[in-house]
Amino acid sequence: MSEEKRTEIGEIGEFGLIDRIAEKFEPKNEKTVKGIGDDTAVYDLGDKYLLTTSDMLLEGVHFDLSYMPLPHLGYKAVAVNVSDIAAMNGIPKQITVNLGLSNRFSVEAVEALYEGIKAACDEYNVDLVGGDTTSSSAGLVISVTAIGEVDRDKVVYRNGAMENDILCVTGDLGGAFVGLQILEREKAEYLANPDMQPKLDKYDYVVGRQLKPKARMDIIHEFKDLGIQPTSMIDVSDGLASEAFHLCKQSGLGVAIYEDKIPIEKQSFETAAEFSIDPNSCALNGGEDYELLFTIGQDDFEKIKNHADIHTIGYMQAQKKGRTFVTRNQNVVELQAQGWKHF
Ligand code: ADP
Ligand code: MG
């Protein structure tokens, strides 16, 4: 072979790679409102916008069947896509499911997977309308595409945040990452001693966060009821820091996040401590919590300030002020994002 330039994907990272792809695909249909770069693509249907998104889960990369029950996996594969529709302030309507199956799988196993897919379809009120099934020589592959809609004047992108907007996050963070550490530890112990029973009771919350994350459609319905229109939004799949960076980059702003405002459940906190990992780092860099991170104008603060499940964690600031993290003892440091690195 000639000496062609070879760039390792790790050098530019997942987001660098996506940027490079996006550069070559400027939308040519005038009704393509949003192409690559947000939680979903957006297509103009008139009064409504159509939203589409895909997420793929690979055995050995995103899940391990030794501790991921198939119904949970089916549920999660749907929920992570619904979460992206939610992040646009949209309502999911349909999904398609693409499967790559190895001959290790029985009909019953596929049915168990679809039990979870069905549970998610019922919970989020979406229809399974198609897909594709092939064989796979590299473990189970499940890729879901979700289609949703939003009124055109209600769509929320990553790029709409304004200086001084309040940064909010739903639920709590870090649990899914801590839950994964527990599952990995129990698996290692089981492999060393197969007679051992996994001890998961004490960790039910964090393990549940990893195995059956919920998409926050409840919050999207509440935004409507409360008359809240977020200025920007993203779902937390990669960790708070990385998602906050996306809002900053696309909105052309900086951010200040307060350590003592980051919501972390007691069990996440205690379990992180058991592993000697900083609970804040789990929230900032862990990922897979599938909560919503969004900004609102100061005028909307009254509407959320007493909400039990929406937490104000900081505010957007001018880009030149940077992305800052204010520690518990009031030190201002630069916010770091590690995020998930699959490459
Ligand atoms: P999310 O975490 O919200 O699912 P991603 O970080 O996976 O978003 O993707 C960011 C953007 O890049 C999305 O608009 C997504 O559709 C797009 N994207 C991801 N992978 C590809 C790809 N291989 N080709 C084209 N677009 C992609
Ligand atoms: Mg997303």
Domain that holds residue 92: 10-23+31-151
Nearest ligand, measured from the Cα of 40: 1
Q: Which residues pair with 320 in a beta bridge?
A: none
| Same-domain pairing of 193 and 89 | no
On whether residue 220 sits in a domain, the answer given is yes
On whether residue 1 sits in a domain, the answer given is no
| Same-domain pairing of 173 and 112 | no
Give the chain's domain count: 2
| Same-domain pairing of 144 and 174 | no
Q: Which residues pair with 44 in a beta bridge?
A: 49
On whether residue 73 sits in a domain, the answer given is yes
Judged by average pLDDT, the poorest of 10-24, 189-203, 212-226 is 189-203
CATH number at residue 319: 3.90.650.10
Q: Is 132 annotated as a binding residue?
A: yes
Name the residue with the closest Cα to ligand 1, atom 10: 37
For ligand 1, what atom is nearest to the CA of residue 87? 3
Backbone angles phi, psi at 33, to 5 degrees: -80, -35
Q: Is 288 annotated as a binding residue?
A: yes
| Same-domain pairing of 186 and 132 | no
- pLDDT (0 to 100) of residue 342: 46
Q: Which of 151, 178, 200 is the last residue of a domain?
A: 151
pLDDT one-digit tens code per residue, 38-81? 999 999 999 999 999 999 999 999 999 999 999 999 999 999 99
Q: What percent of the chain has pLDDT over 90?
A: 91
CATH number at residue 125: 3.30.1330.10
With a 6 Å cutoff on the Cβ, whether 38 touches ligand 1 is yes
Task: Tell me which residue has tokens 């594969």.
Answer: 77
For ligand 1, what atom is nearest to the CA of residue 41? 14
For ligand 1, what atom is nearest to the CA of residue 80? 4
On whether residue 159 sits in a domain, the answer given is no
Binned at pLDDT 50, 70 and 90, residue 197 comes out as: confident
- Would you say residue 4 has pLDDT above 90? no
Average pLDDT of the residues of the chain = 95
On whether residue 2 sits in a domain, the answer given is no
| Same-domain pairing of 210 and 271 | yes
Distance CA 343, CA 337 (A): 16
With a 6 Å cutoff on the Cβ, whether 186 touches ligand 1 is no
- Would you say residue 198 has pLDDT above 80? no
What secondary structure letter does DSSP report for 59?
B
Binned at pLDDT 50, 70 and 90, residue 257 comes out as: very high
pLDDT one-digit tens code per residue, 19-36? 999 999 999 999 999 999
| Same-domain pairing of 146 and 17 | yes
On whether residue 4 sits in a domain, the answer given is no
Q: Which of 90, 125, 151 is the last residue of a domain?
A: 151
- pLDDT (0 to 100) of residue 195: 85
| Same-domain pairing of 214 and 182 | yes
| Same-domain pairing of 111 and 259 | no
Task: Tell me which residue has tokens 């890729």.
Answer: 143
Binned at pLDDT 50, 70 and 90, residue 1 comes out as: low
| Same-domain pairing of 177 and 283 | yes
- Would you say residue 339 has pLDDT above 70? no
